[in-house]
Amino acid sequence: MGAFTVVVIALFIFAIVTIAKGVRVVQQGMEWVVERLGKYHKTLEPGLHIIIPYIDRVAYKVVTKDIILDIEQQEVITRDNAVILTNALAFIKVTDTVKAVYGVTDFSEAIRQLVQTTLRSIVGEMELDSALSSRDQIKARLKESIADEAIDWGLTVKSVEIQDIKPSDSMQRAMELQASAERERKAAVTKAEGEKTAMILESEGRLESAKRDAQAQVTLADSASQAIQKVTQAVQDRDAPMLFLLGEKYIAAMEKMASSNNAKVVVLPADLQDALKGLFAKR
């Protein structure tokens, strides 16, 4: 093989490499940034393009589809000094390729850091209960806060989702202890209120019973008074009614003694009426 042949083969290979470097096919969903002699020259959109080999070079290949950024979990301290764990997802889209590659070193990492710092700032202004229950509010404020910065970097923030927000392990244990103490306190209050209600009902019951006993005593007294009046009218004797009542009470007392388990013998005087009369005999 002669020198001429070697040169021809070398030129042929050089031509193939040159054509390969000059012809560029950009896939759909991508944009390529071309620099000429180290300076931005143009942006290649999807399709077939011709560039000048060795002078032009593809410096950046940028995805123009929606990009999902996973924001790592971080600890955030709320306004009432509670520690919570939170992470998020950011959905962004490159709308200006030149700004995205020349406006910031790494736009994906920049958005991650921006979301993390903004999230800490927003949650830090809230109390624990509010932070745990206001996920939509936090999401809206977060998206609004980073939108302007993202535009300067040629990005559009389509959505920011709070993936998880929860108390830290130590905070969760403290909350469980607090909840347990609160349940015990409520149980003690309920028990005390129940005992108080029972005592009130018992007192009311005793008061009602006493009232009824008093009413019964008055009724019995009225009945006894009427009986005395009738006996007096019947026998026309002032002492007879008293003897009659005392006799009844004496007989009732004897019957009670007779029914008692300790009673062995009950003696009733034969001259019960004379004995009663003797009690009230005039001196």
Which 3 state secondary structure label does DSSP give 157? strand
> Which is nearest to 104 in space by CA: 70, 155, 57?
155
Residue 282 has pLDDT above 50, yes or no: no
**Pairing of the two strands 155-167 and 83-94:** antiparallel
The pLDDT, as a whole number, for residue 31 is 93
Query: Is 47 found in the same domain as 94?
Result: no
Question: Of 18, 45, 63, which residue constitutes the final position of a domain?
Answer: 63
Asked, for residue 227, whether it belongs to a domain, the answer is: yes
Asked, for residue 116, whether it belongs to a domain, the answer is: yes
Query: Is 160 found in the same domain as 241?
Result: no
Query: Is 151 found in the same domain as 80?
Result: yes
Asked, for residue 59, whether it belongs to a domain, the answer is: yes
Task: Provide the token pair at 171.
Answer: 């905070």
Asked, for residue 188, whether it belongs to a domain, the answer is: no
Q: What is the pLDDT of residues 43-96, one digit of tens each?
A: 999 999 998 888 989 999 999 999 999 988 888 888 888 888 888 999 999 999
Eight-state DSSP code of residue 88 = E
Specify the pTM: 0.57
HSE-up (13 A, CA, CB side) for residue 45: 2
Query: Is 93 found in the same domain as 141?
Result: yes
The total number of structural domains in the chain stands at 3
Query: Is 118 found in the same domain as 44?
Result: no
Residue 12 has a CB neighbour count (10 Å cut-off) of 10
Query: Is 112 found in the same domain as 167?
Result: yes
Which residue range forms the structural domain that includes residue 244? 202-261+269-279
Query: Is 47 found in the same domain as 16?
Result: yes
Asked, for residue 189, whether it belongs to a domain, the answer is: no
- Find the range with the poorest average confidence among 72-76, 193-197, 209-213: 209-213
Asked, for residue 143, whether it belongs to a domain, the answer is: yes
Mean pLDDT within 22-38: 91
Asked, for residue 183, whether it belongs to a domain, the answer is: no
Query: Is 32 found in the same domain as 73?
Result: no
Give the rounded percent of residues in the chain with a pLDDT score beyond 70. Answer: 73
The pLDDT, as a whole number, for residue 283 is 44
To the nearest 10°, report the CA torsion of 223, 224, 229, 231: 110
Asked, for residue 125, whether it belongs to a domain, the answer is: yes
The pLDDT, as a whole number, for residue 184 is 75
Query: Is 130 found in the same domain as 96?
Result: yes
Query: Is 215 found in the same domain as 161?
Result: no
